[in-house]
């Protein structure tokens, strides 16, 4: 049975581990230096960092379980605009990750629906996200939900730049 709920600080360890695994599954082949990837994880997917982000009222996390085992998570960052637009009242879909073995179960779609509803319920007018330009599966997924490409942004891991596309959707 699949269960999706808002995450609490008690979920920080699960989310940190899921973040590392799912990022490796989706982007690990692109990162040139293994050491850079490990440093990236230490910075963005440490348990203390995730706990801090969950406690920040400007973030909302969800966690997904299958038979009580964590299999995915998402993060919505509130009140954050893409700097190259005049959009105000925006939020950012910061992360949406599901373990590869569970992608066929449409869990990403369930999470996406929950996130979009939450953003609307909070009266945001716009939601945006970034996706690595080589992440064709992710880009196709977001376009299916009406996200339109509006720009690009540099995403640095270690000393290397991994250009990301920026997508936006009116709510």
Count of the separate structural domains present in the chain:
1
pTM of the model: 0.94
Structural domain contains residue 162: no
In this structure, what CATH number is given to the domain that contains residue 68?
Answer: 3.40.630.30
Cβ contact 165:134 at 8 Å: no
**Domain ranges, residue 54:** 2-121
Residue 119, C-beta contacts closer than 8 angstroms, at least 6 positions apart:
76, 91, 127, 171
Structural domain contains residue 149: no
Cβ contact 26:139 at 8 Å: no
Give the per-residue pLDDT at 82.
Answer: 86
Share of the chain above pLDDT 70, in %: 98
Q: 84: exposed, middle or buried (C-beta count within 10 Å: 0-12, 13-18, 19+)?
A: exposed
Give the per-residue pLDDT at 86.
Answer: 67
pLDDT tens, 62-87? 999 999 999 999 999 999 988 776 67
Give the per-residue pLDDT at 157.
Answer: 93
- Residue 92 confidence (pLDDT) above 90: yes
Cβ contact 36:159 at 8 Å: yes
């Amino acid at each position: 049975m699949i269960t999706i709920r808002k995450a609490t600080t008690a979920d920080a360890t699960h989310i940190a581990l899921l973040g590392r695994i799912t990022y490796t599954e989706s982007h690990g082949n692109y990162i040139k230096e293994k050491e850079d990837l490990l440093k990236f994880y230490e910075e963005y997917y440490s348990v203390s960092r995730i706990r801090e982000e969950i406690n920040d009222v400007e973030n909302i996390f969800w966690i997904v379980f299958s038979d009580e085992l964590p299999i995915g998570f998402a993060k919505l960052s509130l009140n954050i605009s893409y700097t190259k637009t005049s959009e105000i009242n925006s939020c950012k879909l910061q992360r949406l990750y599901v373990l590869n073995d569970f992608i066929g179960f449409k869990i990403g779609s369930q999470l996406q629906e929950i996130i979009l509803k939450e953003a609307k319920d909070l009266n945001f007018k716009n939601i945006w996200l970034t996706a690595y330009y080589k992440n064709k599966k992710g880009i196709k997924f977001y376009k299916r939900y009406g996200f339109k490409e509006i720009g690009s942004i540099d995403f640095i891991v270690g000393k290397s730049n991994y250009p990301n596309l920026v997508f936006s959707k009116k709510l």
